[in-house]
Amino acid sequence: MKNTTQSENRQTIALNLENFVHEVLVVSPGRINLIGEHIDYNGGHVLPAAINKQIKIYFRRNNTRRCNVWSKNFDNGYSFSIDAIGISDVEWENYILGVVHYIDQIYPGAIQGFDCIVESALPMGSGLSSSAALECGIATGLNTLFSIGLTKDQIIHLSRDAEHNYVGTKCGIMDQFTVVRGQKDHLILLDCQNLDYRMIHADIAPYQLVLLNSNVSHNLASSEYNNRRADCEAALAIIQEKHPEYKYLVDVPKEVLMSFEEELTPTMFDRASYVIQENKRTLMAAEALEKGKFEEFGNLLWESHHGLRYNYQVSCEELDFMVDFAKTQKGVLGARMMGGGFGGCTINMVHKDVVPSYTDAISKAYKKQFGIDLSPIEVSISDGVEVKK
Ligand code: ADP
Ligand code: MG
């Protein structure tokens, strides 16, 4: 990767869908995660699914050495030469630059000039992983447009590398994995240590999953995300001095962690406790769901939020208010913040008969408390990224 900025290479452009004849259209979904938050990068289990809120990306070759990208959502676009790819000062451009860079590393020369238009119905920065939808959508589209032959696993990993090294968010692998491998009506019980996974039929009737977007984002998400990851790595490194057998934080038994209370800082200890418990909760939640024990599942959601709020400390006033309110409502079995935190959505397990009254009541209470509209998002569990020619 060149550490120069893109300023010389970069140009602004405008593309218009009205007269754009595409060769490839990719539909790339966002994702939910029922439980297992912030533990993918700690080697834990997660329970995500792709959803029917998606980014559409239209592609065509242009027979030049330039790539022209337009985001309808930002009403903005840029152009870069394929021969001089580097990190941009404009954040969103890096999701695409990073993907192009890493594909070029795997198959040098495979990508030629292209035009593409991004049009999204997926809220950004709300914990629904518009970032992975964008990365994996771009990678999948270019793979088809230039018949490159990347495997799904390569697309998952290079998209993650783009986010790490071009955008600078040290995310785990869950988001990219889910966007690529999601299946309609199925949750993915994913072991993030080895990417072993099992599809679980998402049969939760008479309950429904309701997302409530707090419409706040506290701008801490990226920096605090990386701080949490660093806290966990530091805790693990101290534990590994005596116990090299534990490769990931989730592998450390509770008793072993307790014996390190003096050696870890209180913050590290809290982070590690959360991670170890959340991994257990995810496994219990998957089992409860498969056995139809929905109350048990719901209780694990409340506990997960409690841990995220007090031990992992990635929640915020607005999300806590929403979860506290949810607890007072009949027919709501469980709720928790979802995604990186500091804003974004809560995920709620709600009896179908009370969905309208619940969303109405919580929206009113939230507006009264914060003066902000809450956005309920109806989701269904859908397929992963797809090419529609
Ligand atoms: P999340 O993944 O939860 O939506 P992130 O902060 O990880 O939140 O990713 C959001 C970022 O992804 C946006 O700030 C933007 O840089 C990029 N992005 C997502 N969707 C689009 C889009 N339609 N056009 C341009 N950039 C986008
Ligand atoms: Mg993201």
Nearest-CA residue for atom 2 of ligand 1: 129
pLDDT tens, position by position, 136-147 = 999 999 999 999
Mean of per-residue pLDDT scores for the chain: 94
Pocket of ligand 1 (CB under 6 A): 55, 71, 73-74, 91-92, 95, 118, 120, 124-131, 134, 221, 339
Q: Which of 41, 92, 222 to mutate to test the pocket of ligand 1 (most atoms within 8 A of CB)?
A: 92
Atom of ligand 1 nearest to the CA of 71: 24
CA angle 133, 121, 26 (to 5 degrees): 50
CA distances from 71 to 12, 119, 142 (A): 12, 6, 16
- Give the full edge-to-edge strand order of the sheet including 196-201: 45-46, 186-191, 196-201
- Residue 31's DSSP bridge partners are 50
Q: Locate tokens 């790819």: which residue?
A: 85
Atom of ligand 1 nearest to the CA of 123: 4
Q: Is the pLDDT of residue 109 over 50?
A: yes
Cα(24)–Cα(141) distance, rounded to whole angstroms?
A: 7
Architecture of domain 203-378: 2-Layer Sandwich (3.30)
Helix (H, G, I), strand (E, B) or coil at 347: strand
Kindly report the backbone phi and psi dihedral angles of residue 334, in degrees, each rounded to the nearest multiple of 5, phi listed first.
-175, 155
Q: Is the pLDDT of residue 155 over 60?
A: yes
231 part of the active site: no
Q: Which of 87, 131, 319, 346 to mutate to test the pocket of ligand 1 (most atoms within 8 A of CB)?
A: 131
Q: Report yes or no: 35 and 283 within 8 Å, Cβ to Cβ.
A: no
Please count the residues of the chain. 389
* CA 131 to centroid of ligand 1, rounded, Å: 4
Atom of ligand 1 nearest to the CA of 132: 2
Helix (H, G, I), strand (E, B) or coil at 37: coil
Nearest-CA residue for atom 7 of ligand 1: 131
The closest ligand to the CA of 95 turns out to be: 1
Cα(100)–Cα(183) distance, rounded to whole angstroms?
A: 26
Catalytic choice (161, 175, 191, 270): 175
Pairing of strands 66-71, 24-33: unpaired
Both structure tokens of 176? 């990219």
Pairing of strands 114-120, 66-71: parallel
Atom of ligand 1 nearest to the CA of 118: 23
Both structure tokens of 274? 């959360």
> Which pLDDT score is estimated for 6?
58
* CA 293 to centroid of ligand 2, rounded, Å: 31
Q: What share of the chain is helix, strand, coil (3-state, %, to 5)?
A: 40, 25, 30
What is the band of 14 on the pLDDT scale with cuts at 50, 70, 90? confident
The closest ligand to the CA of 339 turns out to be: 1
* CA 175 to centroid of ligand 2, rounded, Å: 8
pLDDT tens, position by position, 346-372 = 999 999 999 999 999 999 999 999 999
What is the band of 105 on the pLDDT scale with cuts at 50, 70, 90? very high
What is the band of 73 on the pLDDT scale with cuts at 50, 70, 90? very high
Both structure tokens of 378? 């109806």
What amino acid is encoded at 185 in this protein?
D
> Which pLDDT score is estimated for 8?
62
Q: What is the CA radius of gyration of the chain?
A: 21
Average pLDDT, integer, range 74-82: 93
Both structure tokens of 318? 């607005």
pTM: 0.94
Q: For 192-259, where are the alpha helices, taking DSSP H only?
A: 221-242, 254-258
* CA 243 to centroid of ligand 2, rounded, Å: 33
The closest ligand to the CA of 40 turns out to be: 2
Both structure tokens of 117? 């238009």
Cβ neighbours for 19, distance < 8 A, ≥ 6 positions apart: none
- Residue 386's DSSP bridge partners are 27
Cβ neighbours for 74, distance < 8 A, ≥ 6 positions apart: 92
Q: What are the sequence ranges of the domains in the chain?
A: 6-200+383-387, 203-378
Cβ neighbours for 222, distance < 8 A, ≥ 6 positions apart: 168, 169, 340
Cβ neighbours for 298, distance < 8 A, ≥ 6 positions apart: 332, 333, 334, 349
pLDDT tens, position by position, 19-61 = 899 999 999 999 999 999 999 999 999 999 999 999 999 999 9
- Where is average pLDDT lowest: 4-18, 25-39, 189-203, 212-226? 4-18
What is the band of 126 on the pLDDT scale with cuts at 50, 70, 90? confident
pLDDT tens, position by position, 292-316 = 999 999 999 999 999 999 999 999 9
Q: Which of 124, 211, 342 to mutate to test the pocket of ligand 1 (most atoms within 8 A of CB)?
A: 124
* CA 237 to centroid of ligand 1, rounded, Å: 32
What is the band of 225 on the pLDDT scale with cuts at 50, 70, 90? confident
Exposed/middle/buried for residue 292 (C-beta within 10 Å: 0-12, 13-18, 19+): exposed
Closest to 138 (Cα-Cα) out of 175, 105, 97, 167: 97
Cα(371)–Cα(373) distance, rounded to whole angstroms?
A: 7
pLDDT tens, position by position, 162-196 = 999 999 988 899 999 999 999 999 999 999 999 99
What is the band of 5 on the pLDDT scale with cuts at 50, 70, 90? low
Pick the CATH number of 6-200+383-387 from 3.30.2320.80, 3.30.230.10, 3.30.1370.100, 3.40.50.720: 3.30.230.10
Cα(224)–Cα(151) distance, rounded to whole angstroms?
A: 32
* CA 127 to centroid of ligand 2, rounded, Å: 7
The percentage of residues in the chain with a pLDDT greater than 70, rounded to a whole number, is 97
Q: Report yes or no: 78 and 114 within 8 Å, Cβ to Cβ.
A: no
CA distances from 291 to 36, 55, 205, 278, 370 (A): 19, 34, 13, 20, 39
Atom of ligand 1 nearest to the CA of 339: 3
